[in-house]
A and B are shown apart, each in its own frame.
Chain A
Amino acid sequence: MLAVALVVAGLGLAQAASPDRPASLQERVDAVGATIRCPTCQGLSIKDSPSVLAAGSRQIVEQQLREGRTPAEVRQYFVDRYGPSAVLSPDPDGAGLLAWLLPVAALPLGGWLGWRQLRRRQPTGETDGDPDAAAALDAYRAGALRPDATPAGEALHEALLVRLAAAEDGLDAATRARADARLGAAYRRYARRPTATQRRSRALPRRAVTVVTVVALLAGTGAALAVGVRSRGVGDLPTGDLPGPAAAPGLLQLTAATRERPSDPQAWIALGRAYDAGGELVEALESYDRALALRPDADDVQLLRAAILVRGGSVGEALPVLSELGVRHPDDPDTLLVLGNAQDILGRPEADVTLRRFLELAPDAPAAAVVRERLAQR
């Protein structure tokens, strides 16, 4: 059982090792992100943390990696702003290494301690006081005395262990004598206890229960630590974590689809829309860029991309694209909406014209009510 637990813990730690295929941008972002501490929450990396600032930090990591900076440079950026504690990776020569070794060390350590408990039965010494104590000891060693689970039985068992320990540890005679007296008294009480035949031991022998419990706990801890440590950055708390936005099953399937069909613009568009809906603007932009690289004349993707720029605050950057789209598709309500919105944010006078045209073409669109109200407020 110990061996199984050790193997499980070992496998878990081994799986934390690096993968065997070239890393994608997302994987590189994750790898670097796992070494940077989330500013808001103690102990979590920005990769694992659901907090707002962690999300912002991840986007910075992604942008910098895309610009070609090395992981070390990216980490330095965070250290420059948050201090040396921003970085999570442990010093391999330092105490952090022990954080790795402890789960593996604790199992054999704990197992050894448990086994020693078992071996305490070694008989040494002699009773030279209480004859009942002597009788109890002899019977116990012979296997003829097995205290049951009654209170008297438990007390007797305790006294036996104490007496055996006193002998084994070579303590002074006075302590042994006290242990003798206690054992004798416990034995007498045991002999007097009301024996009910129903109380025939259904219970497991006590020592077996103790050992099984200890081993089970250690195996469970080892397995849990292995699982917890595997998916965390080193130095993180292996406690529960809220799922990040990328854990949505739809996103996983769509990402898989783009991996299977990397030259299918539809796959990238679908992924981009999913990111878009989830508020992951940078990822959405990247997906739309991929789609546009495959199909440069896809005006619908240009519009989606421009809408993201507007939402992200880069309205100035989006406006030229939107204006061109507006020229090419003067009657498309979606184009007019985003264009009009952008013009409105920038305070351009033609925003009114654009938005009114939108309302003419799509009076029942969900956004129409909002647009009407905004125009009315002027």
Chain B
Amino acid sequence: MTALATGSEAPPAEAGRGSRRRVWRMLALLLTVGLLGLVLVTRLEGKPPARSVLLDGPAPDLQGTTLDGGTFDLTDWRGQVVLVNVWASWCVPCQQEQPLLVSSYRELAPRGLQIVGINVRDKPEEARAFMQEFGQAPWPSVQDPDGRRAVDWGTFALPETYLVDLDGTVVAKAVGELDAAWIQQNVTPLLAPAGP
């Protein structure tokens, strides 16, 4: 067995080769990890921007047939504060926010608030039933069977609500269901002061 031993103490050259191999291995590992990291980064980017690009710009058009058969045009409401609420009967968080919207409306409509809904890809009967069940909202909702109006307003998901000022500028956007605090902070300051 000793005859098979392949030699004596490793010469310095071999030791050098060994550490060079380690360096290559490390480089290969770093390269792979680096590539993987870059791939992850490029995939992770593209989350919805924190701030809607519509803010501080003019409100998009909103026209169409409403759920109760009438027609609606947002430009008719120029000069008023308008909440544009994007919703659907199949959207669960919309159920949560509807009662809040209704009560806010009752409180703030006398101070000049208007609300219009965009009803996305919904059956009119189901949308009407939803409105009946969740507070009987008295404001109109424009039908959006294709979802085009929602996309026109840069909607990411339902529900979202846009606040349009007197001059037709989009001044705020709520992503997800509304809460009273958002209405307090954003909507109320724009309205006429409460009555005596």
State how many angstroms separate the Cβ of A178 from the closest Cβ of chain B.
16
Which of B6, B19, B28 contacts A113, CB < 8 Å? B28
Bound Cα distance A281, B7 (Å): 82
Report, as a range, how many residues of chain A touch the other chain.
35 or more
B110 CB–A CB distance under 8 Å: no
A142 close to B1 (CB less than 8 A): yes
Mask, A105-140, CB within 8 Å of B = 1, is 110011011001000000111101000001101110
For window 81-96 of A, CB contacts with B under 8 Å fall at 81-83, 85, 88, 90, 94-96
B154 CB–A CB distance under 8 Å: yes
B19 close to A169 (CB less than 8 A): yes
On chain A, the residues within 8 Å of B144 by CB distance are 56, 313
On chain B, the residues within 8 Å of A139 by CB distance are 1
On chain B, the residues within 8 Å of A60 by CB distance are 146, 148, 151-152
B14 CB–A CB distance under 8 Å: yes
A13 CB–B CB distance under 8 Å: no
B14 close to A170 (CB less than 8 A): yes
B10 close to A125 (CB less than 8 A): yes
Residue ID in chain B nearest A135 by CB atoms? B1
A246 CB–B CB distance under 8 Å: no
On chain B, the residues within 8 Å of A169 by CB distance are 18-19, 21-22
A193 CB–B CB distance under 8 Å: no
Mask, B27-57, CB within 8 Å of A = 1, is 0100110011011011101111100111000
Contact flag A126-B8 (CB < 8 Å), given A102-B35, A168-B21: yes
B180 CB–A CB distance under 8 Å: no
State how many angstroms separate the Cβ of B158 from the closest Cβ of chain A.
8
Report, as a range, how many residues of chain B touch the other chain.
35 or more
A55 close to B9 (CB less than 8 A): no
B43 close to A43 (CB less than 8 A): yes
B146 close to A43 (CB less than 8 A): no
Bound Cα distance A282, B147 (Å): 12
State how many angstroms separate the Cβ of A140 from the closest Cβ of chain B.
10
On chain B, the residues within 8 Å of A281 by CB distance are 145-146
On chain A, the residues within 8 Å of B35 by CB distance are 98, 101-102, 105-106
Bound Cα distance A94, B156 (Å): 27
Give 7 new A-B contacts, CB below 8 A, not counting A83-B53, A141-B4, A345-B65: A53-B150, A59-B146, A112-B28, A138-B1, A167-B10, A282-B146, A344-B69
25 A-B pairs in the complex with CB atoms less than 8 angstroms apart: A39-B154, A40-B156, A42-B46, A53-B150, A56-B144, A57-B147, A59-B148, A60-B148, A80-B53, A81-B153, A82-B49, A83-B53, A98-B38, A102-B36, A113-B25, A124-B7, A142-B4, A169-B18, A169-B22, A170-B14, A235-B42, A313-B64, A313-B65, A315-B65, A344-B69
